[in-house]
Amino acid sequence: MIRPPVEALGDPSRVVATVLGCRPDEVAPRVVVTPFVPLSSFRRHVEDVTADLNPRFFFQGFTAVFQGEPVTVVHTGVGPSRVGDCLAALALTPARKVLFVGAVGGLADHLELGDWFLPEAVADGEGYTRYVREGFRRVVDGAHPFEVRVPGDLRRFLEDREGRVHTGRVFTVGPVSFESEENLRFLKIRGYDALEMELSAFYSACQALGLDGAALTYVSDLPLRSSLWTEKTPAEADALRTAWRAAPRLALEWLRRTGP
């Protein structure tokens, strides 16, 4: 495991100010990172915002108080490199525990829209160029899944509140444009339960940087049954809306219960 040489980029205070738009000490020990959930969905649950993370480029976010404890929320944007670079900057701050909040496309037959999914192994399928030059199947077969820890208290926390919670193997895919039915069925045959676009980078960065990482995701689509492009039934739309609305508060509540 090779640690990103983030300390060699320059003065840590300047790096954090440029990337996160704040002083290092304005980042809390507990952090939520999300590629797409709006900051406003988290902000409505907090009591007091103590710092706005608003650099000209890079990553937007805020630090606030939730149930008496500080927490930082960062919107990374979609894609593995953005998540990895965000975590590298967070490693220069007091951040110690990081929770990823996002979504997966469910491949396994038992998954339904709006279910919670906690990865127990992830595989690196990052990189658009690899798919164009090598082909989908070669990228998949060249990926090396690695196990990640599923916090037992996170699973119990979700089961106590929301019911349908699953664990499984997830493939971090590069381009959406290669998610044809044929390719998705190949992923399923290779034993993957879900796919998404950031988690291999998230867990690799956490391990390399010494951050305590966990992921809370929900099933946003079933690409072999009900893809992103398919109009949803009222019941499906309701399941997705429920998970979308619940995820920010559940993330903040679970982080609040854990130590930094």
CATH number where 13 lies: 3.40.50.1580
pLDDT at 80: 92
pLDDT at 174: 86
Q: How far is CA 179 from CA 79, 194, 196, in A?
A: 16, 12, 11
The residue whose two tokens read 């939520």 is 32
Residue 101 lies in a domain: yes
Residue 217 lies in a domain: yes
- How far apart CA 87 and CA 168 sit, in angstroms, is 24
Strand partners, 62: 52, 73
Q: Which domain holds residue 141?
A: 6-257
pLDDT at 8: 76
Phi, psi values for residue 47, rounded to 5°:
-95, -35
Contacts of 50 (CB under 8 A, 6+ apart): 26, 63, 64, 65, 70
Name the pTM for this structure. 0.95
Residue 214 lies in a domain: yes
pLDDT at 183: 95
- How far apart CA 135 and CA 91 sit, in angstroms, is 35
How many helices (H) and strands (E) the chain has is answered by: 9, 10
The residue type found at 40 is S
Residue 79 lies in a domain: yes
CA atoms within 13 A on the CB side of 86: 32
pLDDT at 232: 87
pLDDT at 259: 66
- How far apart CA 148 and CA 131 sit, in angstroms, is 25
Count the domains in the chain: 1
Residue 1 lies in a domain: no
CA end-to-end distance (rounded Å), the chain: 24
Local confidence pLDDT in tens for the 260 residues of the chain: 778 777 778 899 999 999 999 999 999 999 999 999 999 999 999 999 999 998 888 999 999 999 999 999 999 999 999 999 999 999 999 999 999 999 999 999 999 999 999 999 999 999 999 999 999 999 999 998 999 999 889 999 998 886 799 999 999 998 888 999 999 999 999 999 999 999 999 999 999 999 999 999 999 999 999 777 888 889 999 999 999 999 999 999 999 988 66
pLDDT at 66: 96
pLDDT at 260: 62
